[in-house]
Structure 1
Amino acid sequence: MENEFSASQAEIIGALVYGIIFLVLVTLGLILFFYYSRRKIVEKEVEKINIKLDHQKKILQTTIKVQEEERNRIAQDLHDAISSKLNVVSLTTNVLIDDDSIAEEHKEALNHILDITTRTLESSRKIAHELMPPILDKFGLKVALEELFDEFTSNTDIKIKHHIESLNDLDKSNELHVFRIAQELISNALVHGKANQLKMELKKEKEGFALVFKDNGVGFDVNDIKKKSGIGLQNIKSRVAILNGQLFVESSKKTGSIFTINCHSYGY
């Protein structure tokens, strides 16, 4: 009788053990199922986000490419259509001024016309140069940036300290992006930041480059630009994204602003 009771108890215990093992396995199976299902969902969402970001980047790249092409066209029109015609006016006016048969009062008017024509011609050349700097294509980014700094500092109280290293592995398209970023940074610092001392470093790294720009301006709230950026800063962000870079911004009313751009692999 005792043997039968022991056998029955052993069967019950065995059934309980097997039941517990079964429940553990089922629970483990459900956990693994939900884990891998969730992982697949997350992977799909990440893939969708990457596709969206890639699409946005292509749109940005196309938009900026069209913008640069339009700038190039306008610069060419300024040079070919307006500047050439102004040169003709200038030459003709000089011929009339040298003509002894022209009355002195008329020569004064001609000198005034020549002065206006010369200033307009200079303004036209400056605008064309800013739209599409020929020195960038001929001599590269380093020389173009140094000339850009000279343009801002000549005949002004603005001081720009700079250390620019040559980025030989940067193609012309990406050189233009870096040049435009520098233009925007300087313009923003002077117009919005009211700065008069700037510092820019462009260093070549093992992979890519690092750009650090500092100013002594009035500064701003960094949290505000995270919510809404102005056109200039948005343009900088767009070009940094195309370069596959990262932009870091620090700003304080006591110390001004610091923009750091790290680019380890260039855009396509």
Structure 2
Amino acid sequence: MENELLQEDAQIVVLILIAISVLLLMAVALVVFFFFSRKKIIATELEKKDLTISYQKELLHATIETQEEERKRIAQDLHDAISAKLNVVSLSTNVLIDGRLNHKEKEQTLQHILAVTTNTLESSRRLAHNLLPPILENFGLQAAIEELCDEFMNSKSVTIDCTIAYSNILSKSNELHIFRIIQELLNNSIRHGEAEHITILLENNDAQVDLKYMDQGKGFDTGSIDIKKGIGLRNIESRVEMLNGELIYTSEIGKGATFTINIDSVNRNDI
């Protein structure tokens, strides 16, 4: 009887030890699981942060490159349209000051100075218009986009269907971003896509501004464009990022391109 009790006690002790061992193994397994899970979560978060930093660096580089290209263009325009003409005015004025011209030659020189000055003023107005379209400042985004479309259609090489239902809920600086985005898209469609028909739809509600742009041009391979983007597309992406917006584009070779831009009008950046 005593042996049976000892055997039962031994079995109970063995079961308790086994249970404790199982519990210890489970505890160790849980610790290891949580350790590696946490490690994986941290690694994933670090990877996301690295991707975010990499994207921000790429965006900053694209923005700087875009600004540099814009500065070069402005500098070239200033040189070609204004500096060179002012040099002509200066030379002609010096000739008049010398007093070696007869009456007829003086009249011709004055007429020449007047013509060059008038041309320079027109060039400076055009340059200022390119920097900040007066119609955008004075009459709003809808009028500016309609004028832009008319300018492109005057070439007789493209037709543009432009539908705008926009109620001026963005700041002027952000409206300028949208104007430049559409301008860049039109340039790309005609210059690279050789599009003959383009559709633009801009609308908004109280919370969001939506821009949809479609052309029937040559299209492009979205796979390769993601690897090597031109300055035009990077410029568009930079401006959408400044607007805290979302850009989605789809295209196929020979089937045109579609760009959809959604801007949260509540959480936008007023840059």
Q: TM-score if structure 2 supplies the norm length?
A: 0.74
How many angstroms does 1:84 deviate by?
9.1
Q: Please name the residue that 1:16 is paired with.
A: 18
Q: Please name the residue that 1:200 is paired with.
A: 200
Q: CA RMSD in A?
A: 4.0
Alignment of 1:114-263 (within 5 A): 125-154=125-154, 156-263=156-263
Q: Work out whether residues 83 and 121 of structure 1, in 8 Å CA contact, stay in contact via their aligned partners in 2.
A: no
**Could you tell me which amino acid in structure 2 is paired with residue 46 of structure 1?**
K
Q: Please name the residue that 2:45 is paired with.
A: 43
State the percentage of identical aligned residues.
35
Provide the C-alpha distance between the structure 2 equivalents of 1:135 and 1:232, rounded to a whole number of angstroms: 24
Provide the C-alpha distance between the structure 1 equivalents of 2:233 and 2:82, rounded to a whole number of angstroms: 32
Closer/same/farther in 2, CA of residues 118 and 198 from structure 1, 3 Å limit: farther
Comparing 186-195 and 26-35, the one that deviates more: 26-35
How many angstroms does 1:164 deviate by?
1.5
How many angstroms does 1:215 deviate by?
1.3
How many angstroms does 1:167 deviate by?
4.4
SS at match of 1:209: strand
Aligned residues: 254
Alignment of 1:80-95 (within 5 A): none
- Deviation string for 1:16-44 (max 9, x for gaps)? 11111111112112212322233234334
**Could you tell me which amino acid in structure 1 is paired with residue 244 of structure 2?**
N
Q: Please name the residue that 1:25 is paired with.
A: 27
Comparing 69-78 and 12-21, the one that deviates more: 69-78
Q: Work out whether residues 78 and 124 of structure 1, in 8 Å CA contact, stay in contact via their aligned partners in 2.
A: no
Q: Work out whether residues 82 and 124 of structure 2, in 8 Å CA contact, stay in contact via their aligned partners in 1.
A: no
How many angstroms does 1:256 deviate by?
1.7
How many angstroms does 1:211 deviate by?
0.9
How many angstroms does 1:126 deviate by?
3.7
Q: Which has the higher contact order (CA 8 A, sep 6+)?
A: 2
**Could you tell me which amino acid in structure 2 is paired with residue 9 of structure 1?**
Q
Closer/same/farther in 2, CA of residues 42 and 204 from structure 1, 3 Å limit: same
How many angstroms does 1:258 deviate by?
1.3
**Could you tell me which amino acid in structure 2 is paired with residue 187 of structure 1?**
N
SS at match of 2:23: helix
SS at match of 1:259: strand
How many angstroms does 1:65 deviate by?
6.6
Provide the C-alpha distance between the structure 2 equivalents of 1:13 and 1:70, rounded to a whole number of angstroms: 84
- Deviation string for 1:33-87 (max 9, x for gaps)? 3222332343344345445555665666676677778878888999987899999
Q: TM-score if structure 1 supplies the norm length?
A: 0.74
Closer/same/farther in 2, CA of residues 212 and 73 from structure 1, 3 Å limit: same
Provide the C-alpha distance between the structure 2 equivalents of 1:162 and 1:198, rounded to a whole number of angstroms: 8
Gaps of 5+ in 1: 88-100
Q: Work out whether residues 244 and 266 of structure 1, in 8 Å CA contact, stay in contact via their aligned partners in 2.
A: yes
Closer/same/farther in 2, CA of residues 2 and 175 from structure 1, 3 Å limit: same
Provide the C-alpha distance between the structure 2 equivalents of 1:166 and 1:212, rounded to a whole number of angstroms: 13
